[in-house]
Amino acid sequence: MSKLLIVDDERSMRDFLAILLKKEGHDVVAASDGADAVKAVQSEIFDLVITDMRMPGVDGMGVLKAVKELSPETAVIMITAFATAEAAVEAMKAGASDYIIKPFKVDELKLIINNTLEKRSLKKENILLRREIASKAGFDNFIGKSPDMERVFDLIRQVAQSSSTVLITGESGTGKELVAKAIHYNSPRKNGPYVTVNCGALPETLLESELFGYMKGAFTGAAANKQGLFEAADGGTLFLDEISATTPALQVKLLRVLQEREFMRVGGTAKIRVDVHIIAASNKDLALEVDKGMFRQDLFYRLNVIPISLPPLRDRKEDIPLLVDFFLKQIFKKTDGPKVDKTIAPDALKHLMSYSWPGNVRELQNMIERLVIMSPGDTIKSEHLGGLGVDKQPSSDLVTMDIPEEGMDIEALLSRIEKTLLKKALERAGGSKTDAAKLLKLSFRSFRHRWYKYDKQ
């Protein structure tokens, strides 16, 4: 539904346009003069303003100038009974999308309005497409036949048919954004927008204005009204990556949006309702972050309606040959890629499968690209891996474990170690949580609390 502002000092024309456009399915606001129209644009963001050219006080050109200053993305159509070539040229130079001469045919007006709104919609879609391309993950599709990945595929198919909030967890490089995209493009919302934002890449104030939008003058640099990403994603999906990086203050506002499905722009007073499928992701254990007081428990419960946990690559090594083959073909297909279609020798593949891959699939992809560039001939051999790190295995002794060059997620590592020890203790204790707790020198309550986190995954 598009939001339209009708501006005309003649009541009969104003009422006629309002009734006509409401019947066409638009959300219509009417202003009786230019001054009221400027006030409306100051407090709301419209998709289209249709204004009469000649009005007392603030005329149509004044309205056009105010709209372009306050809300540059809003389209404007001018209506006049005194059309001249000069007036039309002046209006178009000032930013008008089109103009129509009184008296006009209703079908002609509908056509101009529809064309203008379609152009604006295409412009917004192009902006979102550029944003999506810019944030596209390093590989195009999920590759895998392991039981863990089959489970993820099944979950995606089920979740895609629902609008319930999804929380995707997994280490960096496991493909959390790919899951979000797969859910969106296999859902009834697939023709709607898919919008993504990395919550860890922006400071709190900038993230808030990006998510909710802002009104002119709300803060230094707010030179015009701007829609936020929640509005941009209306009718589609909003992917909140690295949700754990949000501040407590912003978490409160996100909680309100999830509960009420409405919000206010920064510096605004009007409540805005949206229909958005929320998918969040984190490379941290949010339950653990809640325990540490770093993440709101009520927001965690709101997000964790449908949890999807992505396995690290070291837990699905049977997928490595498929991924290697996929990446080799992908690199060869690049226009600036190698001219020789390379393969990988069995001994080199064995080395790759024995490595722990702390950076997961993203690290494997980067490694294959380096090997393609740096290895001579048409076959990647085990001797080509020397110096690239894959011939060095991390020790099982944590004291002697080295930190990889690309760094490591210590929270994820400790969480993985804890999960492994809890499982082993439970197996040794024959399934008795009481005895397993004793093996780990934990109280029964402490063991149960820790186990509950992983048993739900």
Residues 167-196, buried b or exposed e (16+ Cβ, 10 A)? bbbbbbbbbbbbbbbbbbeebebeebbbbb
Q: Which CATH class is domain 3-122?
A: alpha beta
Distance CA 201, CA 241 (A): 10
For the domain made up of 135-311, give the CATH fold. Answer: Rossmann fold (3.40.50)
Using an 8 Å Cβ cutoff, are 166 and 159 in contact? yes
Query: What are the residues whose beta carbons fall under 8 Å from the beta carbon of 350, sequence distance 6 or more?
Result: 382
Structure-token pair, residue 365: 């992809």
Element (H, E) at 154: helix 147-159
- Show the tokens assigned to 449: 């609390």
Angle subtended at Cα 251 by Cα 245 and Cα 257, rounded to the nearest 5 degrees: 130
Q: What is the crossing angle of helices 85-93 and 60-70, to 10°? A: 20
pLDDT of residue 28: 93
324, two tokens: 């290697």
pLDDT of residue 137: 35
Q: What pLDDT shows up at residue 400?
A: 44
The number of residues in the chain equals 457
Rounded Cα gap, residues 169 and 288, in angstroms: 12
H or E element in which residue 254 lies: helix 248-260
Give the closest residue to 186 by CA, choosing from 157, 218, 216. Answer: 157
For the four alpha carbons of 278, 284, 285 and 288, in that order, the dihedral sign comes to negative
d(CA 136, CA 24): 37
As a whole number of angstroms, the distance between CA 220 and CA 447 comes to 51
User: End-to-end distance of the chain based on CA atoms, in angstroms?
Assistant: 39
Residue 393: how many other CB atoms lie within 10 Å: 10
Question: For residue 397, what pLDDT is reported?
Answer: 44
Four-way CATH pick for 314-385: 3.30.70.20, 3.40.30.10, 1.10.8.60, 3.30.1490.270: 1.10.8.60
Three-state SS letters, 421-454: HHHHHHHHCCCCHHHHHHHCCCCHHHHHHHHHHH
pTM of the model: 0.63
Three-class SS state of 6 = strand
Dihedral of CA atoms 124, 130, 135, 140 in degrees, nearest 10, equals 110
Q: What is the pLDDT of residue 83?
A: 60
CA torsion sign for 182, 185, 187, 193 is: positive
Residues lower than pLDDT 50 in the chain: 130-131, 133-140, 392-400
User: Could you tell me if 66 and 76 are in contact, meaning their C-beta atoms sit under 8 angstroms apart?
Assistant: no
Give the CB-side neighbour count of residue 365, counting CA atoms within 13 A.
Answer: 18
Q: What is the pLDDT of residues 119-171, one digit of tens each?
A: 887 777 665 554 454 444 333 457 888 888 888 888 888 899 899 999 999 98
Is the distance from CB of 118 to CB of 97 less than 8 angstroms? Answer: no
